[in-house]
Chains A and B, each alone.
Chain A
């Protein structure tokens, strides 16, 4: 019964997201891309609806959300458009073998979530807020009080992850730490699926399968994902936004631009870093040269800000502020912190399992500079600007830097890895478009 409840909840979220994208007529055509974008979109819709309810002082109601969901699905059947049917293609047996390995690896990580494996922030922030939502139907006043006993839960953090965990708890009928772990794993599972879908047409099935395997075998991301933290959502949002921006600028595909906006909204609704990512991604996609007129890009690129605005305005209005951007350090202190951070990043990315990534990234950057591929340049610019902003936050935050590094660096910068992998491979390896049977009509 427990497993069935969780499956029903996930399918409902997926169906809601699929309907929203279908109604907006921006649903992707390949099965794997749909699986990821639909679920991400469903989570964004849930986050927006749930956050609005909390901001307006309403109780979260599963029945009301399901009513809205059925209306959404019905409207999508009547007015929506999902594009053409998926066309079967010949499979590469070698790639299938690698994908089987990906499946085994993901199964092993998934099995691990059946035990109690929430990590610090999973207990203290994300799953705790989900528990409060489950028991109270909203965030009780102590969770909105900057002088209250629960300040350690980072009261200003956006609510997508707690709301998705709440959704899982409501479908199970109880608060289970394992369910929060499993939902973290589910976010992690979508990363190799998205990488496979993004690279298959471009580089062929073998490389795409190897990239999916590399992402699935990234234990640091899996560890914090199953620990219940929101960093895995940022990893997915960053990868999804960069993949869709590449399609939008490479193929002048407006629907891809909307999906990029949706992935940026996913980040903005999940974590404060995600809001920074959304602003960076939207600004760069707005000013980048490309075939889609700038004025017509604006609605898609404003989507993340529209999704993030209610919570952002509400929390600022009641005095909840981020604890990292409170004061700027002196130039000397900032320089010292930046030097320490550089050393920590060097140690992290020359340590297991990251060692090959910096060299891959370097080769990818060199290849991108030589090719001057416009669509990939947008992605590289977003990734670089986001990394610089993250470094700036570490250099300027008031917290003790060694503590900040030891508790956050692997997960915050680890979230850049899947997008870096995509960009490096797409930039450095020759395109094989047209060698496989296209599945886009």
Chain B
């Protein structure tokens, strides 16, 4: 057998060994089997922490006001970085569809609230009347505007 052929087979074998080790390592890590990560981290894959817990909490709060017609606004606190804000936006857009959920970070300009009937903000934030708080969970509160 020529040297080149031996080299190719050796490289193929090396790729198998490296690949198996890498796959095994990855499966045991947080992006692998569910068993390898805490149960509270559902939706963790690619999610910058603490994104998953925020998504779960906001999802539950939005269930308190299940008005599918009006969009909801979520204003995330400053400590959640822009990358996580984007991912939370994507996950909520998916999990809450057909309800439209717009997510912004606290550092971004707050959009006009007119189109929204529901707003989720950090628990310490207080909105003025006619908004009224209906529930709190995991550091967030959900506010509703009574129908006119």
Min CB distance, A125 to chain B, in Å?
9
> Is there an interface contact between A363 and B4, defined as CB atoms closer than 8 Å?
yes
Q: Is the Cβ of A123 less than 8 Å from the Cβ of B22?
A: no
Q: Which 4 A-B pairs have the closest CB atoms?
A: A217-B19, A115-B34, A124-B90, A356-B15
Among B12, B18, B43: residue with most chain A CB under 10 A: B12
Q: Are B22 and A217 in contact (CB-based, < 8 A)? A: yes
Among A109, A111, A353, A364, residue most surrounded by chain B Cβ atoms (within 10 Å): A353
Q: Does B31 contact A (CB under 8 A)?
A: yes
A355 within 8 A of B: yes
A428 near B8: Cβ-Cβ < 8 Å: yes
Known: A119-B46, A128-B93. A135 touches B5 (CB 8 A): no
Q: Which residue of B lies closest to A210 (CB)?
A: B12
Question: In the assembled complex, how far is the CB of residue B83 from the closest CB belonging to chain A, in whole angstroms?
Answer: 10
CB of A118 within 8 Å of the partner chain = yes
- Residue positions of A touching B, CB distance < 8 A: 101, 105, 108-109, 111-112, 114-120, 123-124, 127-128, 131-132, 135-136, 140, 142, 149-150, 152, 177, 207, 210-211, 213-214, 216-219, 222-223, 227, 352-353, 355-357, 359-360, 363-364, 366-367, 424-425, 428-430
- Interface residue tally on B, bucketed by range: 35 or more
The answer to whether A360 and B20 have CB atoms under 8 Å apart is: no
B9 interface residue per 8 A CB criterion: yes
Contacts of B4 in A (CB 8 A): 363, 366-367, 428
Q: Is the CB–CB distance between B9 and A207 below 8 Å?
A: yes
B137 on the interface (CB 8 Å rule)? no
Q: Is the CB of B46 within 8 A of A211?
A: no
Min CB gap A338→B, angstroms: 26
The residue in chain A whose Cβ has the minimal distance to the Cβ of B52 is A116
Interface residues of B in 1-56 (CB under 8 A from A): 4-5, 7-9, 11-16, 18-20, 22-24, 26-27, 31-34, 42-46
B43 CB, min distance to chain A CBs, angstroms: 5
B44: which A residues are within 8 A, CB to CB? 116
Asked if B94 is at the interface of the complex by the 8 Å CB criterion, the answer is: yes
Which residues of B pack against A, CB within 8 Å? 4-5, 7-9, 11-16, 18-20, 22-24, 26-27, 31-34, 42-46, 71, 87, 89-91, 93-94, 97-98, 100, 102
Are A135's CB and B16's CB within 8 A? no
Contact in complex: A109, B94 (CB < 8 Å): no
18 contacts between A and B (CB under 8 A): A108-B27, A109-B27, A111-B33, A112-B33, A118-B45, A120-B87, A128-B90, A132-B98, A136-B98, A149-B71, A217-B19, A219-B23, A355-B15, A355-B18, A360-B8, A363-B8, A428-B4, A428-B5
Q: How far is the CB of B30 from chain A (nearest CB, A)?
A: 10
Q: In the complex, which residues of chain B have a beta carbon less than 8 angstroms from the beta carbon of A177?
A: 43
A430 lies within 8 A of B5 (CB): yes
A123 near B18 with CB under 8 A, answer no
Contact indicator A356/B14 (Cβ below 8 Å) = yes
19 additional contacts, CB 8 Å, given A149-B71, A363-B7?
A: A108-B27, A109-B27, A111-B33, A116-B43, A116-B45, A120-B90, A132-B97, A136-B98, A140-B98, A207-B9, A207-B12, A210-B16, A211-B12, A219-B22, A219-B23, A352-B22, A353-B15, A353-B18, A428-B4
B99 to chain A, nearest CB (A): 11
Q: Determine which of A112, A131, A217 lies in contact with B32 in the assembled complex, contact meaning CB atoms within 8 Å.
A: A112
Contact between A227 and B46 (Cβ–Cβ < 8 Å)?
Answer: yes
Q: With A149-B100, A353-B18, A356-B11 in contact, do A118 and B5 touch (Cβ < 8 Å)?
A: no
Cα A425 to Cα B43 with chains together (Å): 39
Complex Cα distance, B27 from A352, in Å, reads: 15
CA distance A123 to B47 in the complex (A): 11
B45 to chain A, nearest CB (A): 5
Residues of A near B34 (CB, < 8 A) are: 112, 114-117
- A217/B16 in contact, CB under 8 A: yes
A352 — nearest CB in chain B belongs to which residue?
A: B22
A115-B34, A353-B18 known; A131 vs B27 contact (CB < 8 Å) = no
Please tell me if the beta carbons of A128 and B19 are within 8 angstroms of each other in the complex: no
B1 nearest CB across to chain A (Å) = 8
A360 lies within 8 A of B90 (CB): no
In contact, B5 and A112 (Cβ under 8 angstroms): no
